[in-house]
Copies of this chain bind each other. A is one copy, B any other.
Amino acid sequence: MSGLLGRPLKVVNAGVELFAGELERQQAEVARVEWRPPADGAGEALERLATRAAETAAANDRAVVAMQAAEPRVVGIGRAGDLLPGLDERTLLHAGPPIDWDGMCGPLRGAIIGAAVHEGIAADPEEAARLAGRGGLRFGPCHERGAVGPMAGVVSASMPVWVVEDGASGNRAFCTLNEGLGKVLRYGAYDAEVLDRLAWMRDVLARVLTAALERLPEPLDLRALIAQALQMGDEGHNRNRAGTSLLLRALLPALLTVEEPTADVVAAAEFISGNDHFFLNLAMAAGKATADAAAGTAGSSIVTAMARNGTEFGVRLAGTGDRWFTGPAGVVDGLYLPGFGPEDANRDIGDSTITETIGIGGMAMAAAPAIVRFVGGSPEDAVAATLAMYDITWAESSSYQLPTLGFRGTPLGIDAREVVHSGVLPTVNTGIAHKDPGVGQVGAGLVEPPMEAFVAATRALADSPTA
């Protein structure tokens, strides 16, 4: 039906027309973003880029072809300190662009505190906070070590990480194992329950899963699992019930035969089965391995990373290498757990926007009408959100399809120029952390990244040398 770029589908799909037409007729009722004039100063950058449009198009084709070709597969689980460059005992990685202790939000500080105690660097939370405050810890973005982390995204040396390899490019990506919802480190909680769970994940869960993965006849094909999950009501970011179920199904024969104590295997299986979000971290590692395949494509305006540290949102383009372009992290519009409200919410946080970067998550909400029970809105809003994303993407996924849109490929390859030109920002759905350290999750919802990050990235691309 389509080549690796997947663009022919754009014009042949009747299902999309059906929806789009109706949505336009009812525009007052739906959440489509109106066109806005290009942000201040962006017009000049867009004009300069217009003079090299053919070169950018060729670069974007190359970047998107690399993402389409990616074959992310789980090749194992390892210790972060052994796998991630320069991750020593005193270094803690975090989500989003670089930030120091003074700039960190509450939940990121909470996760840093918890991880420091988990690693034994500090005896208790107070000591951890003091140590961090006087410069006794080193920090760095996950993204700069080939990793991604949900929410606070803190990774410390002893933590187990999924190792995902892109079979096409050979590059590797890493992500921690998902802790579940509620009071968990990634939402900034660090009490005994949180630390006990982290220790059990390191000592038991990782061992059982490693043994199970070793028994599989071939590495788990994440592209195939995500593709199936999108046919089963997941969008791969905040709804992962199908992905988690399919993962367990794929691991089942191996779990039945691993040579590990039965009680440990049962505990591992029940832990995974009890957490519909367990698959998220695999989708994120798949996203990182996929997006990295496009990273460094000179001249390309395609986004290769979007990430938030709870204070700032950062974006990277294929054509601007490892540079971050930032703006203030957004305020999430969402649903709250009982007893919490918007006044408790931290700003947008986490590397999980790597899912949107590869055309799933918020970009693929049309796949997951039931997501609205988690993030708010109506199923029509979810469809409208996906439809709007085709305006700012370069291609349509050849792997990930949307049944309700007549199997149209998901919007793939966010083009920073189009974001700036149209004023349409990528749709992101996300969990909401409490703004104070030590509390945890308080809700989930939708959020817009800051336009200035895309403007800055577009300017930098316009400044970059032509081929």
Q: Assess whether B403 is in contact with A369, with CB atoms less than 8 Å apart.
A: yes
Known: A379-B404, A380-B18. A269 touches B242 (CB 8 A): no
Interface residues of A in 70-90 (CB under 8 A from B): none
Contact check, A242 vs B253: say whether CB atoms are below 8 A apart: no
Contacts of A242 in B (CB 8 A): 232-233, 242, 245
Q: Does A91 contact B (CB under 8 A)?
A: no
Q: Does A14 contact B (CB under 8 A)?
A: yes
CA distance A427 to B276 in the complex (A): 33
**Does A269 lie within 8 Å of B245, measured CB to CB?**
no
Assess whether A131 is interfacial by the CB under 8 Å rule. Answer: no
In the complex, what residues of B have CB within 8 A of residue A14's CB?
29, 378, 380
Interface 1/0s, chain A 18-30, versus B by CB < 8 A? 1001100010010
Task: Let me know if A378 and B406 touch, CB within 8 A.
Answer: yes
Q: Mark A21-65, 1 if CB is under 8 A from B, else 0.
A: 110001001000000000000000000000000000000000000
Q: A205 CA to B232 CA in the complex, in Å?
A: 27
Known A-B contacts A256-B255, A256-B256, A269-B253; the reply to A370 vs B403 at CB < 8 A is: yes
Copies of the protein in its oligomer = 2
Query: Which residue from chain B places its CB closest to the CB of A255 in the assembled complex?
Result: B256
Question: What's the least CB distance linking A116 to chain B, in Å?
Answer: 34
Determine the main DSSP class of A at the interface with B.
Answer: helix
Complex-state Cα separation, A405 to B378, whole angstroms: 10
Chain A 381-405 interface mask (CB, 8 Å, partner B; 1/0): 0000000000000000000000111
Contact between B241 and A252, CB atoms less than 8 A apart: no
In contact, A256 and B248 (Cβ under 8 angstroms): no
With A233-B403, A241-B232, A406-B380 as given contacts, are A257 and B262 in contact (CB-CB < 8 Å)? yes
Contact of A249 among B26, B256, B257, B273 (CB under 8 A): B273
User: What chain B residues lie within 8 Å of A404 (beta carbons)?
Assistant: 369, 379, 404
Given the known inter-chain contacts A241-B232, A256-B255, please indicate yes or no for A15 contacting B380, CB distance below 8 A: yes
Given the known A-B contacts A232-B232, A248-B252, are A15 and B378 also in contact in the complex, defined by CB atoms under 8 Å?
A: yes
Report the minimum CB–CB distance from A218 to chain B (whole Å): 15
Say yes or no: A15-B245 contact (C-beta < 8 A), given A252-B255, A256-B256. no
- The reply to whether the CB of A169 lies closer than 8 angstroms to some CB of chain B is no
B22 near A21 with CB under 8 A, answer yes
Q: Does A199 contact B (CB under 8 A)?
A: no
Query: Looking at the complex, which one of B26, B269, B379 makes contact with A256 (CB distance below 8 Å)?
Result: B269
A369: min CB distance to chain B, Å: 4
Cα A117 to Cα B369 in complex, Å, equals 49
Highest count of chain B CB atoms <10 Å: which of A246, A379, A405: A379
Please give, as numbers and ranges, the residues of chain B lying within 8 Å of A273 by CB-CB distance: 249, 252-253
| Residue A337 is within 8 A (CB to CB) of chain B in the complex | no
Residues in B whose Cβ lies below 8 Å from that of A245: 232, 242, 245-246, 248-249
**Bound-complex Cα distance A255 to B270 (A):** 12
Q: List 21 A-B contacts (CB under 8 A).
A: A21-B22, A228-B241, A231-B233, A232-B242, A233-B233, A233-B403, A245-B248, A248-B248, A248-B249, A249-B273, A252-B255, A252-B269, A252-B273, A256-B256, A256-B265, A256-B266, A257-B262, A369-B403, A378-B406, A379-B405, A379-B407
Beyond the given A232-B245, A256-B266, A256-B269, please list 5 additional residue pairs across the A-B interface where CB-CB is below 8 A.
Answer: A232-B233, A232-B242, A242-B242, A255-B256, A378-B406
